[in-house]
Structure 1
Amino acid sequence: MAQMASRSTAWTATEFGQLDLGDVRLNRRARTLMESMAAAPTASVPKACNGWGETMAAYRFFDNANVQYESDARRVQNALRKRLEKFGLTLEPSKTKLVAFGRFAPRNAGNSGRKRPETIYFLGFTLYCTQNLKGRFKVGMRTEKSRLRRSLANLQDLMRQARHLSIREQSEKLNRVLRGHYAYYGIAGNFRALLQVHRGVERYWRKMLSSRSRSGGVTWEAFHQIKTRFPLMRPKLHLPYRALQAIAVL
């Protein structure tokens, strides 16, 4: 703990030694705040800054950086590793890697004996190399498999918790979760994963309703009648190809 505290003090002295907010008291207070947060990097701001009840807000920024060219990526990686070593820190190997990706990646993968190029996992998506209808290279995006399994598991838990609610209340809860899922993962090329979640919810919902039915189960015909009255949100792309192209141009 003492070693961590000394590293935190050294880091804040290096980064904020010349900090000038126009007031000596504010400068001292800001450095103390940074030292508290650096000493407890995994704690929430209130826990890290215990006793700072009058502090209105504090921010910590993290960034997911991607570098396009291999030469730049290697230079940035080496520089970043050396800089972190000054503060007794290291890069997380599983979160930092060089990936051969782009329009020449499929050809290079074949020359290297691989069937397909590597993929990139970024913010819950799997990015992969593919082609559009004209045969030109494009970046494909789909829900990362572990995130997809987690979403389905969370929806199953929600249905178990809502088992004794009315069908109307169940559908409202499910639709709130589906709306949020579609809003985040509803990107061009990912419709199949959205549909997989929708169909999974239908199966689990019918199974849950059957488990509480006194007649021995809910037939698909009866379930379709329930869905007609209390429909589940259909998958929707909130960022279709045209909107995605506009963002890429910007």
Structure 2
Amino acid sequence: VLANSDEGAPQGGLVSPVLSNIYLHYVLDLWFEKRFARACAGRAYLIRYADDYVACFEHEADARAFLLAMTDRLAQFSLEIEPSKTALIRFGSRSLGSPGGDGAVPRTFGFLGLTHYMGRSRRGRFVVGRKTDGQRACQKLKLLDRRLRSLRAHGGAAMVEYVVRHLRGHLQYYGVSGNARGVATYFYRAAGLLFKWLNRRSQRRSFTWSGFHAAIGRLLPRVRIVHDLYPIPWWKTQTGSRMV
């Protein structure tokens, strides 16, 4: 059945993300780059994925001006910001209590399934830390638990194969610099679910925890960083040379 509609693409439709990306490229990206950022007193950046974005500013006055200007800009296209996902956050080295800062408790924010927080490198420099969003991880584990339960009738091999694919996909997305602990925690809990459902296939227990690791653990992907967000500059990788 084909029905014409003047309300745009349906929420969750296949074409919805594509149209949203094209639309916001004009409404937000170009406007920010060509007009707003050029009028800022300091540096300004916009990072957007689909309809989620983060705007970063060197000066607080620019950030506050952006919030007002962005609200007006979206209203011109009958769009509104989501209040629960919109906030002004002081985020940077000064918020860590370095010279010029107030020593306040740092704020965090969620973006694309990761919680971003302020941290320090081994040399004491400010870095942006990232870890898996706890709520998102719990939701994924609940779905994995249901899926493994439904796969019991297909045998242990099907369950192991599914978890391997699941963890590989998780690693490709969440395996970013600074999130090794978050990935390791998720892997451990996912392995625990696999262990549980393998042992529930029959009344007789299939594995002990040590036996599970010996037989199945080697098949699971290892925790590693896939996306290095802080690459070493090329000149620091050169060894064995000197100037004369």
Q: Normalising by structure 2, report the TM-score.
A: 0.70
Q: State how far apart, in whole Å, the 1-side matches of 2:10 and 2:83 are.
A: 19
Q: Which amino acid aligns with 2:64?
A: R
| Aligned match of 2:237 | none
| Aligned match of 2:91 | 101
Distance 1:47 1:137, change over 3 A: closer
Counterpart check, 1:142 vs 2:131: yes
Kindly indicate whether the alpha-carbon contact (under 8 Å) linking 2:94 and 2:101 is maintained by their aligned counterparts in 1. Answer: no
Q: State how far apart, in whole Å, the 1-side matches of 2:84 and 2:233 are.
A: 31
Kindly indicate whether the alpha-carbon contact (under 8 Å) linking 1:121 and 1:144 is maintained by their aligned counterparts in 2. Answer: yes
Q: Which amino acid aligns with 2:216?
A: K
Output one character per residue of 1:207-247: Cα deviation in whole Å (capped at 9) or x when no partner: 1122223324532233234316x61112221013543879x
| Aligned match of 2:20 | 60
Kindly indicate whether the alpha-carbon contact (under 8 Å) linking 2:115 and 2:132 is maintained by their aligned counterparts in 1. Answer: yes
Q: Which has the higher strand share?
A: 2
Distance 1:43 1:151, change over 3 A: closer
User: Share of identical aligned residues, percent?
Assistant: 29
Please provide the CA RMSD for this pair.
Answer: 3.0
Counterpart check, 1:77 vs 2:63: no
| Aligned match of 2:153 | 164
Kindly indicate whether the alpha-carbon contact (under 8 Å) linking 2:163 and 2:194 is maintained by their aligned counterparts in 1. Answer: no
Output one character per residue of 1:15-39: Cα deviation in whole Å (capped at 9) or x when no partner: xxxxxxxxxxxxxxxxxx9x93xx3
| Aligned match of 2:175 | 186
Kindly indicate whether the alpha-carbon contact (under 8 Å) linking 1:126 and 1:143 is maintained by their aligned counterparts in 2. Answer: yes
Distance 1:138 1:117, change over 3 A: same
The structure with more radius of gyration: 1
Kindly indicate whether the alpha-carbon contact (under 8 Å) linking 1:102 and 1:129 is maintained by their aligned counterparts in 2. Answer: yes
Distance 1:184 1:59, change over 3 A: same
Measure how far apart 1:85 and its partner are: 3.6
Counterpart check, 1:155 vs 2:138: no
Distance 1:240 1:82, change over 3 A: closer
Instruction: Give the 3-state SS of the residue equivalent to 1:104 in structure 2.
Output: helix
Structure 1: gaps of 5 or more residues: 1-32, 49-57
Measure how far apart 1:162 and its partner are: 1.3
| Aligned match of 1:5 | none
Aligned residue-pair number: 199
Q: Which amino acid aligns with 2:65?
A: R
Which residue, out of 207, 211, 231, partners 1:243? 231
Measure how far apart 1:47 and its partner are: 9.4
Instruction: Give the 3-state SS of the residue equivalent to 2:147 in structure 1.
Output: helix
Kindly indicate whether the alpha-carbon contact (under 8 Å) linking 1:188 and 1:244 is maintained by their aligned counterparts in 2. Answer: no
Counterpart check, 1:90 vs 2:80: yes
Q: How is 1:112-127 mapped onto 2 (pairs within 5 angstroms)?
A: 114=104, 116-127=105-116
Measure how far apart 1:86 and its partner are: 4.2
Q: State how far apart, in whole Å, the 1-side matches of 2:120 and 2:15 are.
A: 49
Measure how far apart 1:175 and its partner are: 0.9
Q: Normalising by structure 1, report the TM-score.
A: 0.69
Q: State how far apart, in whole Å, the 2-side matches of 1:94 and 1:86 are.
A: 21
Distance 1:84 1:59, change over 3 A: closer
Q: State how far apart, in whole Å, the 1-side matches of 2:172 and 2:14 are.
A: 31
Instruction: Give the 3-state SS of the residue equivalent to 2:176 in structure 1.
Output: coil
